[in-house]
């Protein structure tokens, strides 16, 4: 099973790659020992969004489905967590609320995806329909300011957003600060490795085959609609995980975290990073989120303009993504160096052979 | 015994009738060629059999089961395998992975790798197995697609102009390949323009003209049919 961690669908293999992976992981695990709690909390916040980026990478980069609806499922799970956590009374029930809200997002993705995929919607229309659904949800939630809009004791609160839910809690222990950070790291490692195994498996083969040529994939006996729906549900579920964690982190959620500017962000992260590779998406999204947050402290408008400029630069200069491009260059350079070294060793070995051999 | 039965099938696109009331039987174990001039409806009939178009009327049976309403993947799961007219491979994936995707439902582990190697060698694609499929020549892409179709080990192999863009040597070799698989019991239905290739492989021939069955029988009889010569072959071929 672990053989699937490496394969044709993922960049990075061998001892050097996994040593780097472990080094980065060790750095991430020891970071809270050296940083102050404010920075650790900020890092946990960046990491929350990574799941949404990885989900879009799976759908768009591997499955060929450009979904503009990541914040739709982010919002469904985010609000779902809030409603469930408040109604279930907080405490350890928040863990159940987290799981159920992600399931809710996946269920919604299953229903929307079924109608889109079985209805033959693909290409640019897939993006248009998912964006429309996203905007409808954001608009609807903005209209829920009145007291009549509540589910049990949980009020939706219109544009002001929903608040009052507990953070993730186990017994009396709130998962915040460093605990939340470590939870994020653990979840990212699990999700990243699981996605690597998925895309390098037989199912992953069919997912990329469907992206390349859905008719040919069907002519090999695969019901490509089922694979597309599976990809859409998993990718949307990951967006939902981000949403539920976001609500838990801040103990609030507003419709603005679903609307158009928010919906465009995952596309920028994944396009800039390199949509065809999970590692590139993971690294690139983190760097962008870090940069965006740093600039936002000084000027939110400047940060948004920079994101737009980055998207344009990606489209014009590196359509496959900057981080992926750099990764491939590094891999080619390393491979070339090893081939040269191997050639030199073979030449040397040949020179040392006795004449008669 | 009939493996495929096309019964009274018609296909209309608006006011155009591409295929009109066609009856066709492909017997198990034969190489059956579907020929006809441009616009005769060969490719439309092919797409009706593989399930890319639903017929306007009529029915299609595979191994006595009515498959008229089934999607292509379900027909493939029943034992059909298809190679389309234009090379239709996964261009951004390596050659070996193309074969692997075709094989993975049937074989796994070392058995699958052995079969991948066998097919790549058979198709002369061994040295190019790590190249992207899109980097292959047109003829090599045709072979790769034939390899993907063969990887399914089908009862019925459906080939739409399998030699388009191939050199005469490649065409001949493709014919020999098809004959060898037929000798092992595989039924083959081929849509083809190239008469030399048809002569090489066909056991039975059906001629389509203006969407209707015009003639059928063994190749020698077809070649001697004056009307077929007039509409398609040219009289010089007939004599």
The runs of H, that is alpha helices, within chain A are 14-34, 37-56, 70-88, 93-118, 124-142, 177-199, 202-212, 214-219, 224-250, 260-273, 278-298, 300-317, 322-352
Residue A14 pLDDT grade (very low, low, confident, very high; cuts 50, 70, 90)? confident
Q: What is the pLDDT of residue B234?
A: 56
**Residue A206 in contact with partner chain B when CB distance is under 8 A:** yes
Q: What is the pLDDT of residues A295-336, one digit of tens each?
A: 887 887 888 888 888 888 888 888 888 888 888 888 778 777
Cβ atoms of A231 and A43 within 8 Å: the answer is: no
Is pLDDT above 60 for A352?
A: no
Is pLDDT above 50 for A52?
A: yes
CB contact under 8 A, B97 and A216: no
Residue B21 pLDDT grade (very low, low, confident, very high; cuts 50, 70, 90)? very high
Contact residues, chain B to chain A, C-beta under 8 Å: 50, 52, 71-74, 76-77, 81-82, 84, 88-94, 97, 100-102, 104-105, 148, 152
Q: What is the pLDDT of residues A262-274, one digit of tens each?
A: 999 999 999 999 9
Name the pairing type of β-strands A150-151 and A154-155. Answer: antiparallel
CB contact under 8 A, B88 and A217: no
Q: How many CB pairs under 8 A join A and B?
A: 62
Is pLDDT above 80 for A1?
A: no
ipTM for the whole complex: 0.89
Is pLDDT above 90 for A279?
A: yes
Q: Which of residues 3-22 of A touch B (CB under 8 A)?
A: 8
Residues of chain A with Cβ-Cβ distance to B105 below 8 Å are 202, 220-222
Is pLDDT above 60 for B32?
A: yes
Please give the residue of chain B at the shortest CA–CA distance from A200.
Answer: B97
Look up tokens 């899109």; give the residue.
B134
Look up tokens 């058995």; give the residue.
B111
Is pLDDT above 80 for B75?
A: yes
Q: What is the pLDDT of residue A225?
A: 97
Mean pLDDT of chain A: 90
Residues of chain A with Cβ-Cβ distance to B92 below 8 Å are 212
Please give the residue of chain B at the shortest CA–CA distance from A225.
Answer: B73
3-class secondary structure, A90: coil
**Residue A118 in contact with partner chain B when CB distance is under 8 A:** no
Name the residue with higher pLDDT: B226 or B115: B115
Mean pLDDT of chain B: 89
Q: What is the pLDDT of residue A296?
A: 82
Q: How far is CA A33 from CA A27, A30, A39, in A?
A: 10, 6, 11
Cα pseudo-dihedral B107, B110, B111, B115, rounded to 10: 100
3-class secondary structure, B160: strand
Is pLDDT above 70 for A147?
A: yes
Q: What is the pLDDT of residue A144?
A: 94
Q: What is the pLDDT of residues A183-228, one digit of tens each?
A: 999 999 999 999 999 999 999 999 999 999 999 999 999 999 999 9
Give the closest-approach CA distance of A78 to chain B in angstroms: 37
Q: What is the pLDDT of residue A342?
A: 67
What mean pLDDT comes out for the span A135-162?
94
With the C-alpha atoms ordered A82, A85, A89, A91, is the resulting torsion angle positive or negative? Answer: negative
Give the closest-approach CA distance of B73 to chain A in angstroms: 4
Cα pseudo-dihedral A304, A310, A311, A314, rounded to 10: -170
Cβ atoms of A320 and A277 within 8 Å: the answer is: no
CB contact under 8 A, A221 and B89: no
Distance CA B58, CA A171 (A): 67
A202, A213, A222 ranked by CB distance to B73: nearest = A222
**Residue A97 in contact with partner chain B when CB distance is under 8 A:** no
Q: What is the pLDDT of residue B238?
A: 42
Q: What is the pLDDT of residues A85-139, one digit of tens each?
A: 999 988 899 999 999 999 999 999 999 999 999 999 988 999 999 999 999 999 9
In a mutational test of the B interface, the residue from A10, A199, A220, A224 whose CB has the highest number of chain B CBs within 10 Å is A220
Radius of gyration over alpha carbons of chain A, in Å? 22
Q: What is the pLDDT of residue B139?
A: 85
């Amino acid at each position: 099973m672990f053989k699937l961690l490496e394969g044709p669908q993922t960049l990075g293999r061998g001892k050097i790659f996994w040593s780097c992976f472990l080094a980065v992981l060790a750095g991430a695990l020891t970071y809270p020992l050296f940083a102050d709690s404010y920075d650790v909390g900020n890092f946990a916040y960046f990491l929350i969004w990574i799941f949404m980026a990885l989900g879009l990478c799976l759908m768009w980069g591997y499955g060929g489905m450009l979904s503009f609806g990541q914040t739709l499922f982010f919002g469904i799970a985010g609000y779902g967590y809030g409603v469930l956590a408040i109604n279930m009374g907080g405490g350890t029930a928040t863990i159940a609320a987290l799981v159920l809200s992600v399931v809710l997002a996946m269920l919604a993705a299953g229903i929307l995806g079924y109608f889109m995929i079985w209805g033959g919607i693909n290409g640019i229309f897939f993006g248009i329909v998912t964006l429309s659904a996203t905007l409808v949800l954001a608009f609807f939630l903005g209209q829920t300011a009145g007291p009549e809009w509540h589910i049990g004791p949980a009020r939706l609160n219109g544009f002001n957003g929903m608040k009052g839910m507990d953070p993730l809690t186990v017994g009396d222990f709130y998962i915040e600060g460093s605990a939340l950070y470590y939870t994020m790291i653990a979840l990212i490692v699990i999700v990243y490795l699981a996605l690597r195994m998925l895309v390098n498996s037989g199912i992953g083969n069919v997912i990329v085959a469907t992206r390349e040529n859905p008719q040919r994939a069907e002519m090999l006996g695969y019901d490509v609609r089922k694979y597309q729906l599976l990809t859409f549900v998993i990718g949307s579920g990951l967006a939902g995980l981000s949403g539920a964690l976001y609500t838990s982190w801040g103990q609030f959620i507003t419709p603005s975290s679903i609307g158009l500017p928010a919906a465009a962000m995952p596309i920028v992260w994944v396009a800039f990073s390199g949509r065809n590779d999970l590692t590139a998406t993971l690294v690139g999204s983190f760097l962008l989120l870090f940069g965006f947050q740093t600039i936002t402290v000084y000027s939110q408008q400047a940060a948004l303009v920079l994101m737009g400029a980055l998207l344009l630069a990606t489209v014009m200069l590196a359509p496959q993504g900057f981080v992926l491009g750099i990764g491939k260059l590094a891999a080619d350079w390393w491979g070339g160096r090893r081939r040269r070294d191997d050639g030199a060793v073979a030449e040397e070995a040949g020179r040392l052979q006795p004449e008669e051999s | 015994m009939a493996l495929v039965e096309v019964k009274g099938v018609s296909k209309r696109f608006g006011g155009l009738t591409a295929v009109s009331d066609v009856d066709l039987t492909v017997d198990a174990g034969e190489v059956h060629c579907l020929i006809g001039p441009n616009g005769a409806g060969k490719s439309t009939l092919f797409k009706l059999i593989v399930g890319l178009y639903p017929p306007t009327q009529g029915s299609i049976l595979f191994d006595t089961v009515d498959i008229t309403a089934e999607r292509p993947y379900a027909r493939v799961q029943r034992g059909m395998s298809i190679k389309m007219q234009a090379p239709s491979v996964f261009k951004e994936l390596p050659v070996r992975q193309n074969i692997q995707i075709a094989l993975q439902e049937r074989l796994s582990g070392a058995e699958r790798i052995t079969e991948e190697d066998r097919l790549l060698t058979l198709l002369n694609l061994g040295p190019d197995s790590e190249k992207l499929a899109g980097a292959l020549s047109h003829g090599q892409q045709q072979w790769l697609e034939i390899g993907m179709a063969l990887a399914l080990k089908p009862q019925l192999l459906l080939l739409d102009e399998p030699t388009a863009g191939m050199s005469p040597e490649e065409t001949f070799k493709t014919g020999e390949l098809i004959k060898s698989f037929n000798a092992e019991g595989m039924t083959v239905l081929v849509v083809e323009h190239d008469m030399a290739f048809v002569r090489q492989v066909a056991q039975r021939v059906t001629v389509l003209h203006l969407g209707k069955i015009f003639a059928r029988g063994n190749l020698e009889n077809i070649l001697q049919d004056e009307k077929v010569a007039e509409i398609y072959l040219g009289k010089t071929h007939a004599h």
